[in-house]
Amino acid sequence: MATKLLALACIGRESHGPDLSPRSHYPSMPKYPKGMSVQERSVELAGSEAKPAVFSVMGMTCSACAGSVEKAIKRLPGIREAVVDVLNNKAQVLFYPSFVNEATIRETIEDVGFEATLIDQDEMNDRSIQVCRIRINGMTCTSCSSAIESALQAIHGVQKVQVALATEEAQIHYDPKIVISYNQLLETILDSGYGAILISSGEEYLLSKIELKVEGVRTDHSMRMIEESLQALPGIQDINISPVLKKISLSYKPDVTGPRTFINVIESTGSRRFKGSIYPEGGGGGRETHRQGEIKQYYRSFLWSLVFTVPIFLTSMVFMYIPGIKHVFDTKVVNMMSVGMLLRWVLSTPVQFIIGRRFYTGSYKALRHGSANMDVLIALGTNGAYFYSVYSVLRAATSKDFKGTDFFETSAMLISFILLGKYLEVLAKGKTSEAIAKLMDLAPDTAILLTLDDEGNVVSEEDIDSRLIQKNDVIKIIPGAKVASDGFVIRGQSHVNESMITGEARPVAKRKGDTVIGGTLNENGVLHIKATRVGSESALSQIVRLVESAQLAKAPVQKFADRISKYFVPFVIIFSFSTWLAWFLAGKFHGYPKSWIPSSMDSFELALQFGISVMVIACPCALGLATPTAVMVGTGVGASQGVLIKGGQALESAHKVDCIVFDKTGTLTIGKPVVVNTKLLKNMVLREFYELIAATEVNSEHPLAKAIVGYAKKFREDDENPAWPEARDFDSITGHGVKAIVRNKEIIVGNKSLILDHNITIPVDAEDMLAEAEGMAQTGILVSIDGEMAGVLAISDPLKPGAEEAISILKSMKIKSIMVTGDNWGTANSIGKEVGIETIVAEAKPEQKAEKVKELQASGYTVAMVGDGINDSPALVAADVGMAIGAGTDIAIEAADIVLMKSNLEDVITAIDLSRRTFFHIRLNYIWALGYNLLGIPIAAGILFPSTRFRLPPWIAGAAMAASSVSVVCCSLLLKYYKRPKKLDNLEIRGIRIE
């Protein structure tokens, strides 16, 4: 995929001039069977199903090779999609068997000059691993997430499990040959005592999903009828019906069908009384809906607990000091049981068992599976206070001289403060994922759908919900409106502000043929675009998925917290019991003066309060939230600035980086070569000269050839796609150049060795120009006409603006910069000198770049590799941090750890600085979480009591515990105010745009 997405270049990999690899002169696009109309063709396609095929393609050396293979395949009739992966030497093709077959595709690849072999699909399927994402409800701390991970990991066939506490999601990699269905995974989570909702099963191949609401349905028969009608549609893969919610969930192939078709089928079924629409956003159990529900639930529980707790607090802490009222509450009901005691018992019971039921449920589920979480601590602490109080009340009711004290206010206030803390925590955690919400909000609500006739004229316009856009729809984008879908312009000119997706502020000019990204803002002209990627295929959806995956992935530093939390709760329980026992025995055997015991309690009750305080002040939540919340905010902030960080591992490695290896082409340079100088050696018109060499080079897919053809077009301004003279006997000489017969003249375009091989004399002027070009980091190309030197071209890949300043800033950050390129030493040294890089490795093959990275790592460096994600992929993978630069909207997800969406170098600095700032906040979180527990637990245990008489009542300890989690999340939220280094504000580095 990366080959298709990032096909910029291997211009610089050759050591001796241009590499014009074997290419065939492409024939014109083959036609569909003669006489077949557009309508007949559409019917034929609709009646057949696209079939996937994977070919092994040998002989590809660069993205230009992959591009030529892909282009040749796509020119065949009946090809739906073709993606060529130069790294793995594979071509994946989706085709319609009624028009083309595997043999024809294989022959076409071989015609381009490469070996092709069809790969058996069964063999491919045997090695496939699927990814399933599940939302999990009910986790409270890392003990919960660890228990779920262990349960899932125990399933045979599960390869890898990630459970994220902060996002409340699990991502499971499993072998579908062993784990028959994702239902097995859901059941395991449910058996562990937690709620589980499937987000995505990973079973779909090029599928989209949508949820529809059906109104007017009165019977199950009607729903079944609608289901059968939808099931009959081509492209439908899976349907799930929820009769109670009147909801239909569909998985479908977006190339074959779409949501408007579904709604039409629903409304045409039966007596046309049904009405279909997109299911309300979030209605399908989305993360935000779940979060809002959780916030409301905690808020409601907290308010109800206050209703009971405030009177309990007043009767035990306030009214007892008001003489008249004190007498009323001290009135005895039965023996020594007073009105106040009875009232507090009655009021605290609903708080303990109804409002606090969640803690019992959570404790039971955790203990049933052999783990202990925060719920266990809360349940033990509140039960200790409550049941001792019940004992005191019953003892008072049965005795005429018992003077016990109850702690009903302790359990009630504990539960109230913990609920308040959880409410504030969930509220704050919701803000950590605001970045995703903002990204999703970029998509416009409505779109203008155009209906065109056979000549391409607009027949009608219709406002539709943007979620109803289907592939190949034509959409009208008016000035000031957001682009409704990924696609390409088929009519109109405008400037589009893509900053919301790429972070690049400068508007980008768009005209016919240019691609546009859904969610970006059209500034001035009217555009007609053809939708190419809709729903889950869109760039916006890909970015959202990348950020979600990043927030799900754990940073290695989090393993530290996971290890601690595994033993934390058992340790606290033991220490709490030991604290109670120590104080109880000390009181029993007069280990401290009786004056230490408050008048309202005895030694047992004092010891009990110390034990309960230790139980409830300990907070495993703060430790569990320290890393994931900071990673969530950090990755979200990065996404808003055009820096997509693939999770905690990338963040942790990036903050340690002290050496950066830069590729040259497309990284330090723009990556698109341009002709910068021409010297004619014989009298002829420059236009005629360029017509001859453009006619020769137009058959080549090489970047240098494209640069020459592009420059030649400037002499034919009257025609955007000029017809060049016919080239006969075209021949490509690998690594040297091309030759052909044009207008009965023999044209040779290539490097010095190619000219000398044909016994053509190179004049001194040409030799001088070649040397001068190499000294200026340019590629010199010689042109001969009929065996005589006719001219010399100098082609340059210009340095990116601000590259020198960016390298200088990295030096000030104590980061070593190295350039590794496949280009020749002369060009490499010239570029290195210009940007200020002293260490240079030139004429390096992709595997040699990876070896250089490993060599630096062996020397003790933490290495980041910055490249374009294609030829640099081995090095990107080998590096501690791989950064794909200039990826634009097509993200090199596979190789890179960090994707820099803007085509500039300042984001390398931003990525490293952001990772350093994020890890500063993670360290702060750990210092606070550990420091809080290390200080809080001894104070709660009464370490200060002998010297200062200071003790923490259990309800204050509970409030402190709740506050610790909130403080950790708030510390992470401070990252939202991250500003990139001020040094960058003085730079005029902007995204590179090639017109």
Q: What number of residues does the chain have?
A: 995
The count of other CB atoms within 10 Å of the CB of residue 598 is: 13
Report the distance separating Cα 501 and Cα 491, nearest Å.
23
Is residue 768 annotated as a catalytic residue, yes or no?
Answer: no
Q: CB neighbours of 638 closer than 8 A, spacing ≥ 6?
A: 644, 645, 910, 911, 914
3-state secondary structure of 542: helix
Report the distance separating Cα 913 and Cα 442, nearest Å.
27
Query: What is the CA angle 944-946-949, rounded to 5?
Result: 70
Report the distance separating Cα 875 and Cα 202, nearest Å.
29
Strands 446-452, 236-242: pairing is unpaired
Report the distance separating Cα 925 and Cα 929, nearest Å.
6
Q: Which of 546, 518, 544, 547 is nearest to 531 (CA)?
A: 518
Classify the C-alpha dihedral 901-907-912-916 as positive or negative: negative
Using CA atoms, how far residue 880 sits from 518, 656, 877, 894, 898, in Å, is 33, 9, 8, 15, 11
**Tokens (6 digits) for 650:** 């990338």
3-state secondary structure of 471: coil
**Tokens (6 digits) for 89:** 């030497």
Identify the helix (H) or strand (E) that includes residue 42: helix 38-47
* Residue pair 725/695 in contact by the 8 Å Cβ criterion: yes
Which residue blocks in 314-403 are alpha helix, DSSP H?
323-329, 339-350, 357-368, 374-397
One-character DSSP codes across 559-628 = HHHHHHHHHHHHHHHHHHHHHHHHHHHHHHTT-S-GGGS-TT--HHHHHHHHHHHHHHH--HHHHHHHHH
* Residue pair 975/490 in contact by the 8 Å Cβ criterion: no
95 backbone φψ class: left, alpha, beta (φ>0; ψ -120 to 50)? beta
Report the distance separating Cα 28 and Cα 723, nearest Å.
13
Q: CB neighbours of 142 closer than 8 A, spacing ≥ 6?
A: 165, 561, 562, 565, 620, 623, 624
**Tokens (6 digits) for 782:** 């010689």
Q: How are the residues of the chain apportioned to helix, strand and coil, as percentages rounded to the nearest 5?
A: 50, 20, 30
Which residue spans within 384-542 are E strands per DSSP?
Answer: 446-452, 458-465, 474-477, 486-491, 494-497, 508-510, 515-516, 521-522, 527-533
* Residue pair 269/277 in contact by the 8 Å Cβ criterion: no
Q: Which of 205, 203, 201 is nearest to 255 (CA)?
A: 205
Which residue blocks in 779-905 are alpha helix, DSSP H?
803-812, 825-835, 846-858, 873-878
3-state secondary structure of 951: coil
Catalytic residue among 19, 375, 486, 663: 663
Burial bucket for residue 682 (CB in 10 Å: 0-12, 13-18, 19+): exposed
Residue 266's φ and ψ, nearest 5 degrees, are -60, -45
CA 447 and chain centroid, separation: 26
Active site residues: 663
